Amino acid sequence: MAEEKILVVDDEALIRKLLQYHLVNNGFRVVTTGNSYRVLELVQVEKPDLIILDILLPGIDGIELCREIRKQNNVPIIFLTSKNDSSDVVLGLGVGGDDYITKPFKPQEMIARVKAHLRRWRLQDTGGSTAVQNRKLKYKGLEVDLPGRSVFVNGRAVNLTVKEFDLLALLARNPNHVFTYRQLLNLIWKYENYDDKRTLLVHINRLRKKIEPDPSKPVYILTMKGVGYKFSGLV
pLDDT by residue (tens digit) across 162-214? 888 989 998 998 888 889 888 888 778 765 445 567 778 888 999 999 999 99
Task: Name 221's bridge partners.
Answer: 231
Query: What is the predicted pLDDT for the residue at 126?
Result: 38
Q: Where are the alpha helices (DSSP H) in 95-180?
A: 107-124, 162-173
What pLDDT is attached to residue 113? 87
More confident site: 228 or 127: 228
pLDDT at 196: 63
User: Which pLDDT value is given to residue 130?
Assistant: 36
Identify the pLDDT of residue 25. 95
pLDDT value of position 235: 59
Task: Note the pLDDT tens digit of each residue in 18-37.
Answer: 999 999 999 999 999 999 99
What distance in Å separates the CA atoms of residue 175 and residue 26, rounded to the nearest whole number?
28
Which candidate, 74, 17, 26, 71, places its Cα nearest to that of 48? 74
Q: Give CATH 3.40.50.2300 domain extents, the chain.
A: 5-131
Q: How many CA atoms lie within 13 A of 186 on its CB side?
A: 17
pLDDT at 30: 97
**Above 80 in pLDDT, residue 46?**
yes
Work out the average pLDDT over 207-225. Answer: 95
- Give 88-146 pLDDT, tens digit per residue: 777 787 777 888 888 888 999 999 989 888 876 765 543 333 333 447 888 999 999 98
Residue 176: predicted pLDDT: 87
May I ask the CATH class of domain 135-231? mainly alpha
Nearest alpha carbon to residue 2 among 54, 53, 50: 50
- Please give the mean pLDDT across all residues of the chain: 85
Domain(s) labelled CATH 1.10.10.10 in the chain stretch across: 135-231
Using 50, 70 and 90 to split pLDDT, how confident is the model at 39? Answer: very high
Phi, psi for residue 84 in degrees, rounded to 5: -95, -5
Q: Are strands 5-9 and 50-54 parallel, antiparallel or unpaired?
A: parallel
Distance CA 161, CA 51 (A): 31
Q: Which fold has domain 5-131?
A: Rossmann fold (3.40.50)
- What is the rounded radius of gyration, in angstroms, for the C-alpha atoms of the chain? 18
Taking the C-alpha atoms of residue 80 and residue 99, their distance in angstroms, rounded to an integer, is: 9
Q: What is the pLDDT of residue 59?
A: 94
- 145: burial class by Cβ within 10 Å (0-12, 13-18, 19+)? middle
Q: How far apart are CA 23 and CA 16, in angstroms?
A: 10
Are residues 155 and 75 in contact, defined by beta-carbon separation less than 8 angstroms? Answer: no
Does the pLDDT value for residue 2 go beyond 60? no
Which amino acid type is present at position 99? D
pTM higher than 0.75? no
